[in-house]
Structure 1
Amino acid sequence: CVFVSQSGETKDTLESLSYAKGADAQTVGVVNVVGSEISRQTSCGIHLNAGSEIGVASTKAYTSQIVALVMFALQLSHDRCSKDVRRQEILAALHEMPYQIESSIKRIDEVTL
C-alpha cells in the first residue's frame, strides 16, 4: 500500500496506514518531511526533498509527488519488455518537464493580459 502526504502527518492517511499495518501489508510512504509519522511508520519510502512550503496548496510537493509516483510505477513495470518503448517515452517527457514549466511561467504575462 502506498501512502502519499506532503507533511507526513495527514490524519486520514495515518488512519489508513494503521489499518494496512494491522493487515500485515507492505507499506510505502511518499512524503516531503523526513522523520514524519508516515515516514517512520511505513516499511520503506520515497522522500521528496521538495523543500518547505507555507499553505495547504503545496505546488512543489504536489509536483514532486506526481513525478515520484510516475517513476515508482515505471520501476514496478520494468520487467515488462513489451512496455520498453512507452517507458522511454514517459522518461523523455519527464526530462522535458522542467523546460515545459519554465516555458509556461514565461508566458504568464501573455495569459493575464
Structure 2
Amino acid sequence: AVGHRHLDEATPATAGPVAEIAWVVGTPWQGRGIATEAARGMVGWLGRRGVRTLMAHVHPDHRASAAVATACGLAPTDVWQDGEVRWTGPLDHRERRKG
C-alpha cells in the first residue's frame, strides 16, 4: 500500500508518501536471498515513484526478516502491532537510481 499519511502522531507529514512493504518466501526457497533481492527491487521501484518513507512489520524472533528489513534500510522502532515490531526508514535516494 502506498499513500500519504503519518506513521504516528510524532511523525511529520513530510514523512510521506509512505509505503508498507512485506515479503513471503516459500520454505523450499528460503535462505537463497530471494526475499532480499525482491524487497530491494520493490524499494527501488517505489523510490522512482516518489515514496519517501518505508515501513514493515517484523516478528521479533524472525532474524531472516529482520535481515531483509535491514537490507532495505529500515530500523526497528518501539512501535508494536499484532505481535510484530514496526520497522521504518527514509527511502535512500540512491535506491531511486537503481534499475
Q: Same fold (TM over 0.5)?
A: no
Higher relative strand content? 2
Structure 1 length as normaliser, TM-score?
0.27
Structure with the bigger RCO (C-alpha within 8 Å, sep 6+) is 2
Which structure would you say has the larger Rg? 1
Query: Which structure has the highest helix share of the two?
Result: 1
**TM-score, normalised on structure 2?**
0.30
